[in-house]
Each structure stands twice: as C-alpha cells, then as structure tokens.
C-alpha cells in the first residue's frame, strides 16, 4: 500500500511543543480539515454531520524522519520508565501514523476549498496530513470499563495565572483563544527532564501567539504573549 494524504489540518497549534498529548484534553482547541482537490466532494461527506466525533488517521509529518525504537519513555511515567512502542501512543513509530478522536463542530461549505470540516479538541499540529476520516461509533467503541494500562490515572492539571506583564495581550485574545491557552498550559507541557528549574522559561505557539511561561510553586505563570499572526 502507498498512502497519499486526503486532507491537511489547519490548527491553533503552531508548534509541536505545547500541544496536548491526546485529543479531548484541550476541548477548546480548534482546527479545520481541508480536503485535497480530488476529495473535495459533497458526496464523500454525505451523512457526516450526524456524527459528533470523528477518528482521524494522520501522519506525524514533523517527526517521522527520526524513525522509531522498540521502547519509548512516555511522559505519563515521568519520562524515565521504558515501555513498548506498541503499548504507547508515542509519535516515534514504524509507520509514523497517528490516531485522534476529535469533535465535529460543523461543515463549512466554501467556494474555493469545498467542504471544510470544523473540528474541536484536536491534538494536531498545524499542517498535519490526514490519511483518513472515519466516524466514531459510540455503540461499538465507547468502553467505560476498559483498562487504561500505565495511563489509567486521571491527569493532574496546574492552575494557570496570567502575570501583569501579559494581562493586556491575554485580554485581547478571543474568548476561545484564552480557553485554549489555559487548557493547554494547565496540562503542563514541560518535558519530564526539565521540571526541576523554576527559573526556566518555556515558549509555545498557540492561536497565532508566542506564549512564554514558567512553572513556579505548582502554578503555571504566563509571562508574555506575543501575537505573530499565524493560525
Ligand atoms: N492522538 C495521537 C497523538 C498522540 S502523540 C495518537 O495517539 O496517535 C501527541 C503529540 O503528537 C502532541 O503532543 C504533538 O506534539 C505531536 N504531534 C501532533 N501533530 C504532529 C505532527 N503532525 N507531526 C509530529 N508530531 C505531531
């Protein structure tokens, strides 16, 4: 099989760092799925609006060239315990394919780009290639009794505060962009190896802004928001 992308996602996440590690964790995150010309067909999406959630099969296009190893160190285990790549959702895997369950907010019917799927809660980088779209089937796929392995425990979220220096820029964001910033940073995107230094400043690209933050005393503090005008 040779796979060709059918679509590209535009998303509020302009860089890999700071993207939630699974879909749904940042419910306000937004994106659009723009079909490539050969698939811009109203027929091909007939019935899709009856579904609230879709599975996306996509390519980890930014990291695929780094290859894979049989074991990985998931952030959920503090980054120091190894488990098998096939027991993980690591981005570094043999075929570089990702799988995300996202919310379908609606379909935008455009003259230039055909039907565009409006998505929420995604964990995808802007520009991610999509290989397939399938509806989520709650009658078969909702399994509340399922065992969650090493990722079974609920996530701990950090409180997020906006420092005075960033307050004006934060206030100028849309309500939804403010929610994305808060939800994404509450997940503590810092790499497990860099938790020790409270003075360290991290930067992430969210909703067209460079957002700089530190984590001190268990609180994520936004110190600067600089609009750069991308997604
Ligand atoms: N839900 C998916 C993704 C899990 S890994 C799955 O289980 O397969 C999630 C991480 O993938 C994010 O934190 C982000 O940094 C990274 N990511 C998202 N889109 C990417 C892309 N196009 N290329 C490389 N990495 C990407």
Q: How many CA atoms, within 13 angstroms, populate the side-chain half-sphere of residue 171?
A: 6
Residues 97 and 35 in one domain: yes
Work out which ligand 1 atom sits closest to the CA atom of 101.
1
Residues 83 and 123 in one domain: yes
Q: How far is CA 212 from the centre of its chain?
A: 18
Residues 33 and 130 in one domain: yes
- Count of structural domains within the chain: 2
Q: Is residue 147 part of a domain?
A: no
pLDDT of 37-58, one tens digit each? 999 999 999 999 999 999 999 9
Pocket test for ligand 1, best of 19, 148, 185, 231 (most atoms within 8 A of CB): 19
pLDDT at 17 over 80: yes
Residues 127 and 171 in one domain: no
pLDDT at 176 over 60: yes
E-assigned strand segments in the chain: 7-11, 30-35, 53-59, 71-72, 83-84, 97-110, 114-120, 128-135, 160-162, 202-206, 209-216, 219-227
Q: Whose alpha carbon is nearest atom 9 of ligand 1? A: 21
Ligand 1 pocket member 62 (CB < 6 A)? yes
pLDDT of 180-222, one tens digit each? 999 999 999 999 888 888 889 999 999 999 999 999 999 999 9
Q: Which of 30, 45, 38 is nearest to 115 (CA)?
A: 45
| Confidence at residue 219, expressed as pLDDT on a 0 to 100 scale | 96
Q: Is residue 176 part of a domain?
A: yes
Contacts of 211 by beta carbon, 8 Å cutoff, 6+ apart? 18, 181, 185, 203, 204, 205, 222, 224, 225, 226
Residues 191 and 129 in one domain: no
| Confidence at residue 91, expressed as pLDDT on a 0 to 100 scale | 97
Q: What is the mean pLDDT of residues 48-77?
A: 97
Residues 91 and 177 in one domain: no
Contacts of 107 by beta carbon, 8 Å cutoff, 6+ apart? 45, 48, 49, 115, 116, 117, 118
| Confidence at residue 229, expressed as pLDDT on a 0 to 100 scale | 66
Work out which ligand 1 atom sits closest to the CA atom of 128.
22
Residues 26 and 136 in one domain: yes
Ligand 1 pocket member 8 (CB < 6 A)? no
pLDDT of 76-134, one tens digit each? 898 889 999 999 999 999 999 999 999 999 999 999 999 999 999 999 999 999 999 99
Domain boundary residue, one of 141, 175, 203: 141
Structural domain including 208 reads: 160-227
| Confidence at residue 230, expressed as pLDDT on a 0 to 100 scale | 54
pTM over 0.85: yes
């Amino acid at each position: 099989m040779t796979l060709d992308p059918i679509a590209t996602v535009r998303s509020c996440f302009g860089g890999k760092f700071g993207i939630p590690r699974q879909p749904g964790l940042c419910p306000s995150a937004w994106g659009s799925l723009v079909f490539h010309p050969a698939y811009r067909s109203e027929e091909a999406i007939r019935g899709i609006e009856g579904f609230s959630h879709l599975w996306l099969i996509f390519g980890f296009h930014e990291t695929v060239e780094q290859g894979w190893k049989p074991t990985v160190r998931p952030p959920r285990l503090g980054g120091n315990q190894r488990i098998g790549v096939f027991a993980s959702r690591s981005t570094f895997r043999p075929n570089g394919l990702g799988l995300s369950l996202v919310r379908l907010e609606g379909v935008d019917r455009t003259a230039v780009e055909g039907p565009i799927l409006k998505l929420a809660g995604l964990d995808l980088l802007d520009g991610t290639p999509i290989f397939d779209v399938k509806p989520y089937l709650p009658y078969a796929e909702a399994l509340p009794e399922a065992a969650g392995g090493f990722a079974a425990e609920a996530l701990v979220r950090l409180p997020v505060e906006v420092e005075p220096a960033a307050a004006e820029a934060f206030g100028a964001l849309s309500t939804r962009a403010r929610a994305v910033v808060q939800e994404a940073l509450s997940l503590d995107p810092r790499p497990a190896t860099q938790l020790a230094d409270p003075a360290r400043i991290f930067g992430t690209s969210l909703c067209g802004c460079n957002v700089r933050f530190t984590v001190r005393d268990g609180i994520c503090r936004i110190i600067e928001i600089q609009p750069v005008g991308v997604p």
